[in-house]
Structure 1
Amino acid sequence: FTVLVVFVIAIWGKRSSPFVQFLHFSQGVGGCIVPLLANPFLAPTKYVDIENNGTYSNMSNASSGPDNASMVAETTEPNFLINENNDITESSVKYAYLIVAVYYGVVGLLFFLIAIKMKTIRALRQDAKTLNNEQPTESTKAPLNKRYRVKMLFLVTLIFYAHGGVQITLNVLITTFSVEELQWTKYLGTAIASVSGGAITLSCLLGTFATKILSQSQMISIQLLIMLLSMVTMVVFVQTHTYVLWVTVIFTGLSSGSMMASIYSWLQENVMPVTGIVVSCSMVGKSVGVMTVPLLAAGLMENVHFMWFTYLLLGIVVLLGVIAICIYASFKVHMNNQNAQCAVVT
């Protein structure tokens, strides 16, 4: 997926924003439907006949009901031997993996054919311009010195660390928080986790159209503001008004879902080409955030108080905003310095 982001940006350049947003939307849709596609290949839960020393009982690992106690009580020995006549269904999940392997093979083959035909990504970009009857234009980005480039890559790593930490912590621990702190049922706890994932996916679809009327700077500012207001509202009101959790989770998902694509597009337009090193730094930051932030949140929830789930999310969102301000300030300072140098030369 990371390669696809670079590939799309390389083809469309400054006009890649809606395509990157839609690419993230398609990833979210795939994450929703893949479990449904794999379900037919999984073994269904079946009752099996167990016979031991002449004692007979019907048991199922997933069964529950008023008859379970009597069935277990009828069994007199701790060791159970499965009757050879039982028809136990085996999982066919290997076929699901085979389908995934074939799919990736086809996609890889298509990219291989494109690489052979077009030679380079620059050729793809030139073809896109030719198809749209456009003339090549010079880049408007300021020249990059090594110090500025390293600083921006470091800030990119940090902002994706915070972004990944917020998303994964919200999705992974929202069920635990709602069940343990708010005393919701497990059904509602899993339902709100699903709503969070759905909001993130929908956000990318809405972002595809939002890029037509808003600049990337405006989109990121709106996303950060909505996330901050949602987290503050959650911290203040979630214990007294439980519906607040639904509202804040939905708005947080809608604002954070398309932010990753917005950041990539903003970097491409204003700072530097989004090549392998930029995306690699972002993935490193996001991976570290995914590993560390939920672990920290879980530890605080278990050892201190479950409300630390909301406190930590608010803190990470504030950190996300501070890093975004630092990136924008560094960009403006660099641009002003470049303009001053150009004025002196002329």
Structure 2
Amino acid sequence: FTVLVVFVIAIWGKRSSPFVQFLQFSEGVGGCIVPLLANPFLAPTKYVDIENNGTYSNMSNASSGPDNASMVVETTETNFLIKENNDITESSVKYAYLIVAVYYGVVGLLFFLIAIKMKTIRALRQDAKTLNNEQPTESTKAPLNKRYRVKMLFLVTLIFYAHGGVQITLNGLITTFSVEGLQWTKYLGTSIASVSGGAITLSCLLGTFATKILSQSQMISIQLLIMLLSMVTMVVFVQMHTYVLWVTVIFTGLSSGSMNASIYSWLQENVMPVTGIVVSCSMVGKSVSAMTVPLLAAALMENVHFMWFTYLLLGIVVLLGVIAICIYASFKVHMNNQNAQCAVVT
């Protein structure tokens, strides 16, 4: 998916924001419908008879294998004889993977044809400018020196670490927090996790249209503000009213879902081309976040107090805002230095 983001940005350049947002939205939609599409290919539920010292009972066996055979389990206390009533049907899940393979093959073939026809991404961008009667414009990105480049790449890694920590922790532990901490039912716990995922997906769709009205800097500022207010509200009021968790989770999902694409687009417009090294840094940040933040949250929830789930999320959101401010401040300082050097030369 990240490669597709780079490809879209390379094609449309500064105008890529709505396309990146919609690409993120399509990924979320795919994640929602794929489990439903896979259901017909799963093995059906089987029923087996259990003989326990002459007494029979019936139970369901959700998993089944390719061989139709009885199984005897012997223990020191009693003997169990399990035998199936019906012939076991082999799972058709291999066809689901076959469909996925065909899909990826078609996508790869389409990109291969595009590469052959357009020769290079530069030619494709030039064609787009010609169709829109646009004249090539000079890039607004300041020239990069090595120190500035390394610093920005480090900050990119940090901001994606923080952003990934918010989404991964929220989606991964919200059910545990609501069920074990707030004593919700498991049904409500899984429901709020689904609502969180739906809000993130909807955020990307709304971001597609928001990019037509707002700049990337404005979008990121609004997203950070909403996330911060949501987390503060969750920390203060989540134990008082049930609906607080629903509202804050929805607003956090709506604000954080489209931020990933907004960060990529802002970097492309203002700092450096979003190519392999930028994407690699972002993936490193997300991966490290996925390994460390949920583990830390789970340990604090289990060994200290379940409310550490909200405290940690609030801390990560604050960290995300601080890193965003550092990136913007570094960018402005670099631009001012470049303008001052140009003024001296002229």
Per-residue CA deviation, residues 152-201 of structure 1 (Å, 9 max, x unaligned), is 01000000000001001000100000011111000000000000000000
C-alpha distance in 2, partners of 1:294/1:74? 41
Please say if residues 231 and 310 of structure 1, whose CA atoms lie closer than 8 Å, have aligned partners that are also in contact: yes
Structure 2 residue matching 1:51: 3-state secondary structure? strand
Cα distance, 1:180–1:68 mapped onto 2, change above 3 Å = farther
**Shift of the alpha carbon at 1:85?**
5.0
Matched, 1:226 2:189: no
Aligned to 1:301: 301
C-alpha distance in 1, partners of 2:295/2:174? 14
Instruction: After superposing the two structures, state which structure 1 stretch, 39-48 or 94-103, moved more.
Output: 39-48
Instruction: After superposing the two structures, state which structure 1 stretch, 124-133 or 235-244, moved more.
Output: 124-133
Cα distance, 1:339–1:135 mapped onto 2, change above 3 Å = same
Cα RMSD for the two superposed structures? 4.2
**Shift of the alpha carbon at 1:52?**
6.3
Please say if residues 22 and 204 of structure 2, whose CA atoms lie closer than 8 Å, have aligned partners that are also in contact: yes
Matched, 1:44 2:44: yes
C-alpha distance in 1, partners of 2:260/2:172? 19
C-alpha distance in 2, partners of 1:226/1:209? 18
Matched, 1:118 2:118: yes
Instruction: After superposing the two structures, state which structure 1 stretch, 161-170 or 270-279, moved more.
Output: 270-279
More strand as a share of residues? 2
Structure 1 residue matching 2:79: 3-state secondary structure? coil
**Shift of the alpha carbon at 1:321?**
0.2
Please say if residues 155 and 327 of structure 1, whose CA atoms lie closer than 8 Å, have aligned partners that are also in contact: yes
Percent of residue pairs bearing the same amino acid type: 96
Cα distance, 1:57–1:4 mapped onto 2, change above 3 Å = same
Per-residue CA deviation, residues 246-304 of structure 1 (Å, 9 max, x unaligned), is 00000000000000000011111111111111111111101111111001000111111
C-alpha distance in 2, partners of 1:265/1:67? 54
Unaligned runs of 5+ in 1: none
Structure 2 residue matching 1:72: 3-state secondary structure? strand
Please say if residues 202 and 254 of structure 1, whose CA atoms lie closer than 8 Å, have aligned partners that are also in contact: yes
Cα distance, 1:15–1:89 mapped onto 2, change above 3 Å = same
Cα distance, 1:71–1:342 mapped onto 2, change above 3 Å = closer
**Shift of the alpha carbon at 1:111?**
1.3
Cα distance, 1:150–1:65 mapped onto 2, change above 3 Å = closer
Instruction: After superposing the two structures, state which structure 1 stretch, 81-90 or 94-103, moved more.
Output: 81-90
**Shift of the alpha carbon at 1:127?**
1.9
C-alpha distance in 1, partners of 2:233/2:193? 18
Cα distance, 1:92–1:68 mapped onto 2, change above 3 Å = closer
Instruction: After superposing the two structures, state which structure 1 stretch, 296-305 or 43-52, moved more.
Output: 43-52
**Shift of the alpha carbon at 1:26?**
0.4
Cα distance, 1:251–1:67 mapped onto 2, change above 3 Å = farther
**Shift of the alpha carbon at 1:65?**
26
Structure 1 residue matching 2:69: 3-state secondary structure? helix
Please say if residues 203 and 254 of structure 1, whose CA atoms lie closer than 8 Å, have aligned partners that are also in contact: yes
Question: Hey, which bits of structure 1, 4+ residues long, moved more than 6 A?
Answer: 62-77
Please say if residues 18 and 208 of structure 1, whose CA atoms lie closer than 8 Å, have aligned partners that are also in contact: yes
Please say if residues 224 and 255 of structure 2, whose CA atoms lie closer than 8 Å, have aligned partners that are also in contact: yes
Please say if residues 56 and 75 of structure 1, whose CA atoms lie closer than 8 Å, have aligned partners that are also in contact: no
**Pairwise mapping of residues 155-194 of structure 1 onto structure 2 (< 5 A)?**
155-194=155-194
Q: TM-score, normalised to structure 1's length?
A: 0.93
Aligned to 1:276: 276
Please say if residues 48 and 88 of structure 1, whose CA atoms lie closer than 8 Å, have aligned partners that are also in contact: no
**Pairwise mapping of residues 312-323 of structure 1 onto structure 2 (< 5 A)?**
312-323=312-323
C-alpha distance in 2, partners of 1:52/1:82? 9
Aligned to 1:311: 311
